[in-house]
Protein backbone atom coordinates (compact mmCIF):
# COMPACT_ATOMS: atom_id res chain seq x y z
CA UNK A 1 0.00 0.00 0.00
CA UNK A 2 2.82 2.43 0.77
CA UNK A 3 4.08 1.99 -2.79
CA UNK A 4 0.72 3.17 -4.12
CA UNK A 5 0.85 6.16 -1.80
CA UNK A 6 4.33 6.88 -3.14
CA UNK A 7 2.99 6.72 -6.67
CA UNK A 8 0.22 9.14 -5.70
CA UNK A 9 2.79 11.61 -4.37
CA UNK A 10 4.79 11.30 -7.58
CA UNK A 11 1.70 11.94 -9.69
CA UNK A 12 0.80 15.04 -7.68
CA UNK A 13 4.32 16.40 -8.06
CA UNK A 14 4.23 15.90 -11.83
CA UNK A 15 0.80 17.50 -12.10
CA UNK A 16 2.28 20.56 -10.42
CA UNK A 17 4.98 20.99 -13.06
CA UNK A 18 2.92 22.92 -15.63
CA UNK A 19 1.46 25.06 -12.86
CA UNK A 20 4.82 26.46 -11.71
CA UNK A 21 7.72 28.33 -13.26
CA UNK A 22 11.24 29.60 -12.64
CA UNK A 23 13.00 28.39 -9.52
CA UNK A 24 9.85 26.79 -8.16
CA UNK A 25 9.60 24.60 -11.26
CA UNK A 26 13.26 23.60 -11.05
CA UNK A 27 12.83 22.70 -7.37
CA UNK A 28 9.77 20.65 -8.27
CA UNK A 29 11.77 18.79 -10.93
CA UNK A 30 14.36 17.84 -8.32
CA UNK A 31 11.65 16.78 -5.86
CA UNK A 32 9.90 14.72 -8.54
CA UNK A 33 13.08 12.88 -9.53
CA UNK A 34 13.88 12.17 -5.88
CA UNK A 35 10.36 10.82 -5.35
CA UNK A 36 10.62 8.60 -8.44
CA UNK A 37 14.02 7.33 -7.37
CA UNK A 38 12.79 6.54 -3.86
CA UNK A 39 9.74 4.75 -5.25
CA UNK A 40 11.78 2.51 -7.54
CA UNK A 41 14.35 1.73 -4.87
CA UNK A 42 11.67 0.99 -2.27
CA UNK A 43 9.87 -1.30 -4.70
CA UNK A 44 13.06 -3.19 -5.57
CA UNK A 45 13.88 -3.64 -1.89
CA UNK A 46 10.38 -4.59 -0.74
CA UNK A 47 9.72 -7.09 -3.54
CA UNK A 48 13.18 -8.53 -4.22
CA UNK A 49 15.34 -7.76 -1.22
CA UNK A 50 18.47 -5.84 -0.40
CA UNK A 51 20.61 -7.55 -3.04
CA UNK A 52 18.34 -6.47 -5.86
CA UNK A 53 18.04 -2.95 -4.50
CA UNK A 54 21.81 -2.74 -4.20
CA UNK A 55 22.27 -3.98 -7.76
CA UNK A 56 19.75 -1.44 -9.03
CA UNK A 57 21.55 1.36 -7.20
CA UNK A 58 25.00 0.32 -8.40
CA UNK A 59 24.07 -0.33 -12.02
CA UNK A 60 21.62 2.46 -12.77
CA UNK A 61 22.57 5.23 -10.33
CA UNK A 62 26.29 4.56 -10.36
CA UNK A 63 26.33 3.69 -14.03
CA UNK A 64 24.11 6.64 -14.86
CA UNK A 65 26.45 9.03 -13.10
CA UNK A 66 29.52 7.53 -14.75
CA UNK A 67 28.13 7.81 -18.27
CA UNK A 68 26.85 11.34 -17.64
CA UNK A 69 30.25 12.46 -16.33
CA UNK A 70 32.04 10.93 -19.30
CA UNK A 71 29.44 12.29 -21.71
CA UNK A 72 29.66 15.81 -20.38
CA UNK A 73 33.47 15.79 -20.41
CA UNK A 74 34.02 14.13 -23.79
CA UNK A 75 30.83 14.46 -25.82
CA UNK A 76 30.48 10.68 -26.07
CA UNK A 77 28.14 8.86 -26.41
CA UNK A 78 25.43 11.55 -26.48
CA UNK A 79 27.05 14.57 -28.08
CA UNK A 80 28.51 17.78 -26.63
CA UNK A 81 26.36 19.25 -23.86
CA UNK A 82 26.50 21.00 -20.50
CA UNK A 83 24.25 21.34 -17.49
CA UNK A 84 23.30 24.71 -16.09
CA UNK A 85 23.12 25.32 -12.36
CA UNK A 86 19.32 25.12 -12.23
CA UNK A 87 19.09 21.55 -10.92
CA UNK A 88 21.21 21.94 -7.83
CA UNK A 89 24.67 20.79 -6.74
CA UNK A 90 26.94 19.21 -9.34
CA UNK A 91 29.79 16.73 -9.24
CA UNK A 92 32.11 16.60 -12.24
CA UNK A 93 29.65 18.95 -13.90
CA UNK A 94 26.69 16.58 -13.43
CA UNK A 95 23.79 17.60 -11.15
CA UNK A 96 23.52 15.00 -8.40
CA UNK A 97 19.86 14.53 -9.18
CA UNK A 98 20.52 13.30 -12.74
CA UNK A 99 21.72 9.75 -11.90
CA UNK A 100 18.63 9.32 -9.74
CA UNK A 101 16.48 9.84 -12.83
CA UNK A 102 18.16 6.89 -14.56
CA UNK A 103 17.13 4.65 -11.66
CA UNK A 104 13.63 6.09 -11.47
CA UNK A 105 12.70 4.94 -14.98
CA UNK A 106 15.13 2.04 -15.47
CA UNK A 107 13.32 -0.10 -12.92
CA UNK A 108 9.79 0.27 -14.37
CA UNK A 109 11.21 -0.34 -17.86
CA UNK A 110 12.94 -3.51 -16.65
CA UNK A 111 9.77 -4.83 -15.03
CA UNK A 112 7.56 -3.88 -17.98
CA UNK A 113 9.84 -5.83 -20.30
CA UNK A 114 9.67 -8.82 -17.98
CA UNK A 115 5.89 -8.74 -18.26
CA UNK A 116 5.98 -8.62 -22.05
CA UNK A 117 8.76 -10.92 -23.28
CA UNK A 118 10.64 -14.06 -22.31
CA UNK A 119 14.33 -14.77 -22.69
CA UNK A 120 17.27 -12.67 -21.54
CA UNK A 121 18.18 -11.02 -24.84
CA UNK A 122 14.60 -10.05 -25.60
CA UNK A 123 14.14 -8.61 -22.13
CA UNK A 124 17.36 -6.62 -22.28
CA UNK A 125 16.42 -5.21 -25.67
CA UNK A 126 12.84 -4.31 -24.77
CA UNK A 127 13.83 -2.84 -21.40
CA UNK A 128 16.63 -0.81 -22.97
CA UNK A 129 14.35 0.52 -25.69
CA UNK A 130 11.63 1.24 -23.13
CA UNK A 131 14.02 3.32 -21.04
CA UNK A 132 15.70 5.11 -23.96
CA UNK A 133 12.36 6.11 -25.49
CA UNK A 134 11.55 8.11 -22.35
CA UNK A 135 14.21 10.60 -23.39
CA UNK A 136 12.09 11.56 -26.39
CA UNK A 137 9.97 13.34 -23.79
CA UNK A 138 12.64 14.20 -21.24
CA UNK A 139 15.26 16.02 -23.27
CA UNK A 140 12.93 18.39 -25.14
CA UNK A 141 11.17 19.28 -21.89
CA UNK A 142 14.35 19.95 -19.93
CA UNK A 143 16.13 21.79 -22.75
CA UNK A 144 13.11 24.04 -23.24
CA UNK A 145 13.50 25.10 -19.59
CA UNK A 146 17.24 25.68 -19.84
CA UNK A 147 18.27 22.92 -17.45
CA UNK A 148 20.90 21.74 -19.91
CA UNK A 149 21.98 22.76 -23.40
CA UNK A 150 23.60 21.20 -26.44
CA UNK A 151 26.65 22.64 -28.18
CA UNK A 152 26.00 20.66 -31.36
CA UNK A 153 22.31 20.51 -32.22
CA UNK A 154 22.15 18.91 -35.65
CA UNK A 155 20.94 16.69 -37.10
CA UNK A 156 17.79 16.90 -34.98
CA UNK A 157 14.42 15.18 -35.12
CA UNK A 158 11.82 17.09 -37.16
CA UNK A 159 10.02 19.55 -34.93
CA UNK A 160 12.43 19.08 -32.01
CA UNK A 161 15.31 21.54 -32.55
CA UNK A 162 18.22 21.97 -30.18
CA UNK A 163 18.86 18.29 -29.48
CA UNK A 164 21.01 16.12 -31.77
CA UNK A 165 19.91 12.68 -32.89
CA UNK A 166 23.17 11.35 -31.43
CA UNK A 167 21.67 11.95 -28.00
CA UNK A 168 18.85 9.51 -28.55
CA UNK A 169 21.16 6.92 -30.10
CA UNK A 170 23.51 7.31 -27.16
CA UNK A 171 20.62 6.82 -24.76
CA UNK A 172 19.65 3.62 -26.54
CA UNK A 173 23.16 2.19 -26.36
CA UNK A 174 23.63 3.11 -22.72
CA UNK A 175 20.17 1.90 -21.72
CA UNK A 176 20.71 -1.51 -23.33
CA UNK A 177 24.13 -1.80 -21.64
CA UNK A 178 22.65 -0.94 -18.24
CA UNK A 179 19.88 -3.49 -18.70
CA UNK A 180 22.43 -6.13 -19.64
CA UNK A 181 24.33 -5.39 -16.43
CA UNK A 182 21.10 -5.43 -14.43
CA UNK A 183 20.16 -8.78 -15.93
CA UNK A 184 23.58 -10.12 -14.99
CA UNK A 185 23.07 -8.98 -11.41
CA UNK A 186 19.44 -10.10 -11.01
CA UNK A 187 19.33 -13.23 -13.16
CA UNK A 188 16.02 -14.29 -14.67
CA UNK A 189 13.93 -12.17 -12.27
CA UNK A 190 10.53 -13.51 -13.39
CA UNK A 191 7.54 -11.19 -13.57
CA UNK A 192 5.45 -10.82 -10.42
CA UNK A 193 2.31 -9.15 -11.73
CA UNK A 194 0.71 -8.44 -8.38
CA UNK A 195 3.89 -7.15 -6.72
CA UNK A 196 5.03 -5.20 -9.75
CA UNK A 197 1.72 -3.46 -10.48
CA UNK A 198 2.86 -0.10 -9.01
CA UNK A 199 5.84 -0.02 -11.37
CA UNK A 200 3.70 -0.89 -14.37
CA UNK A 201 1.55 2.04 -13.33
CA UNK A 202 4.62 4.31 -13.15
CA UNK A 203 5.57 3.41 -16.72
CA UNK A 204 2.06 3.86 -18.10
CA UNK A 205 1.49 7.09 -16.17
CA UNK A 206 4.77 8.50 -17.47
CA UNK A 207 3.75 7.64 -21.02
CA UNK A 208 0.21 9.04 -20.97
CA UNK A 209 0.93 12.07 -18.81
CA UNK A 210 3.94 13.05 -20.93
CA UNK A 211 1.88 12.96 -24.12
CA UNK A 212 -0.78 15.13 -22.48
CA UNK A 213 1.68 17.55 -20.89
CA UNK A 214 3.78 18.06 -24.01
CA UNK A 215 0.83 18.24 -26.36
CA UNK A 216 -1.45 20.48 -24.29
CA UNK A 217 0.34 22.29 -21.47
CA UNK A 218 3.99 22.72 -22.45
CA UNK A 219 3.67 23.71 -26.09
CA UNK A 220 5.82 20.82 -27.31
CA UNK A 221 3.57 18.97 -29.77
CA UNK A 222 6.40 17.43 -31.78
CA UNK A 223 8.01 15.79 -28.76
CA UNK A 224 4.55 14.62 -27.68
CA UNK A 225 4.30 12.80 -31.01
CA UNK A 226 7.84 11.43 -31.01
CA UNK A 227 7.52 10.23 -27.43
CA UNK A 228 4.15 8.62 -28.14
CA UNK A 229 5.68 6.69 -31.04
CA UNK A 230 8.87 5.84 -29.16
CA UNK A 231 7.44 4.60 -25.86
CA UNK A 232 4.30 3.19 -27.44
CA UNK A 233 5.78 -0.20 -28.47
CA UNK A 234 6.33 -0.96 -24.78
CA UNK A 235 3.56 1.04 -23.10
CA UNK A 236 0.66 0.00 -25.35
CA UNK A 237 1.33 -3.78 -25.23
CA UNK A 238 1.84 -3.48 -21.47
CA UNK A 239 -1.53 -1.78 -21.07
CA UNK A 240 -3.18 -4.45 -23.22
CA UNK A 241 -1.51 -7.24 -21.28
CA UNK A 242 -2.67 -5.77 -17.98
CA UNK A 243 -6.20 -5.21 -19.29
CA UNK A 244 -6.44 -8.72 -20.71
CA UNK A 245 -4.17 -10.95 -18.60
Give the chain's domain count.
1
The pLDDT score that the predictor gives to residue 183 is 97
The pLDDT score that the predictor gives to residue 245 is 65
pLDDT of 229 above 70: yes
The pLDDT score that the predictor gives to residue 63 is 97
Provide the sign of the torsion angle of the four alpha carbons 81, 129, 106, 124, taken in this order.
negative
Is there a contact between 108 and 199 (Cβ–Cβ < 8 Å)?
Answer: yes
What are the tens digits of pLDDT across the range 133-151? 999 999 999 999 999 999 9
The pLDDT score that the predictor gives to residue 132 is 98
pLDDT of 233 above 90: yes
Residue span of the structural domain in which 168 resides: 2-243
Mean local confidence (pLDDT), 2-20: 90
The pLDDT score that the predictor gives to residue 2 is 81
Mean local confidence (pLDDT), 91-101: 97
What are the tens digits of pLDDT across the range 139-185? 999 999 999 999 989 999 999 999 999 999 999 999 999 999 999 99
What are the tens digits of pLDDT across the range 32-87? 999 999 999 999 999 999 999 999 999 999 999 999 999 999 999 999 999 999 99
Q: Which residues pair with 83 in a beta bridge?
A: 148
The pLDDT score that the predictor gives to residue 199 is 97
pLDDT of 244 above 90: no
Provide the sign of the torsion angle of the four alpha carbons 18, 19, 21, 27, taken in this order.
negative
Question: Rounded to 5 degrees, what are φ and ψ at 235?
Answer: -65, -45
Amino acid sequence: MRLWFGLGALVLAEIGYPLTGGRARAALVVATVCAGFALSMLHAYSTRGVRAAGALLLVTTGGGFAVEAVGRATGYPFGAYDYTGALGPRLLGVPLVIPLAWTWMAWPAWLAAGRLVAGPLARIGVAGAGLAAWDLFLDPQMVSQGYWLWHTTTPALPGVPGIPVTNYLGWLGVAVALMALLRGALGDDPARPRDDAPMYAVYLWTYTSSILAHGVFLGLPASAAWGAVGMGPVAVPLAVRLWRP
